[in-house]
Amino acid sequence: MSETQTTPSAVDRFRVTVLAFACVLGSLAVWILAAEGLRPTTIEFTTEPQFAGSIYGHREAAITAARVGLVRGDLWSDAAFAYGDMLWSQDKNASNADMAPFEQTRAVTELAITYAPHDSRLWLLLAANYFRFDWLNERAAASLKMSYYTGSNTIAVVPQRLFLALQSHALDDEEFQELVRHDIHIAVNHKSELMPVLVGAYNNAPVSGRQFFEKTLAELDPSMLASIRSKREPR
């Protein structure tokens, strides 16, 4: 038998290549559609307690979708938001019986960060988890810094990030102070929507955090500082 009869032609090789490529694309499409079909459509990042509580109910569906998606950071982020949003809707003084859900929250959030380390919302969730049990925890301060580094202008995280930052011992660090000043500046520029955030952060801050807040806001908007002071809750 001659060589021309045993060697595949260029056309045959091209057809095999195209078929293999089509199979790969088809498999990829099935994988993407399967994950999207399982993905809850009601999950988004929020720090509003009532909405956070409703999102928590979709955590199992979010985890299932993320497992199908394997390495898709957006799906693991959804799962972390579904678990992590409980941080905003639960009492900080959690009993030992409540420890397991928070352990799960931290585990899912850390996994989500593995696939989406650029998402400042995930770093804030991780910081909030650490803060819940130990506000002096170095990991809490480090996670909070990462939230700044990955999303310094992300408006959605400013309210809770500022709330935690004013309570953090990391506020003694000059670099961290500059990061927090930036958040306060953002809040001043969006005071029509973030004024309650500033009031809440100020009312809940320890003496050191409150003094830093007053000094920074006095430079940016003295009249706003006076207004916030007038709304301060007695302790």
pLDDT in tens, 111-161: 999 999 999 999 999 998 888 877 667 888 999 999 999 999 998 899 889
Which amino acid, residue 11?
V
Residue 147: predicted pLDDT: 95
- Tokens 């500022």 correspond to 162
Residue 95: predicted pLDDT: 45
Would you tell me the crossing angle of helices 73-84 and 59-69 to the nearest 10 degrees?
160
- Look up residue 30 and give its two tokens: 């099935």
**CA nearest to 226, candidates 216, 235, 234, 214:** 214
How far is 56 from 101, CA to CA, in rounded Å? 11
Determine which of 43-52, 87-96, 140-149, 208-217 has the lowest per-residue pLDDT on average.
87-96
Query: What is the overall mean pLDDT for the chain?
Result: 84
3-state helix, strand, coil in the chain (%, to 5): 80, 0, 20
**CA nearest to 77, candidates 39, 129, 32, 29:** 39
Residue 112: predicted pLDDT: 95
161-198: per-residue pLDDT in tens? 999 999 888 898 999 999 999 999 998 898 888 888 88
How far are the Cα atoms of 60, 83, 118, 149 from residue 65, in angstroms, in the given order? 9, 14, 21, 29
How far is 69 from 63, CA to CA, in rounded Å? 10
Identify the band that residue 75 occupies on the pLDDT scale cut at 50, 70 and 90. very high
CA dihedral of 126, 83, 85, 88, whole degrees rounded to 10: -80
Residue 182: predicted pLDDT: 94
Residue 24: predicted pLDDT: 87
Residues 6+ apart with CB under 8 A from 111: 76, 80
Residue 6: predicted pLDDT: 52
Residue 179: predicted pLDDT: 94
**CA nearest to 205, candidates 234, 165, 178:** 165
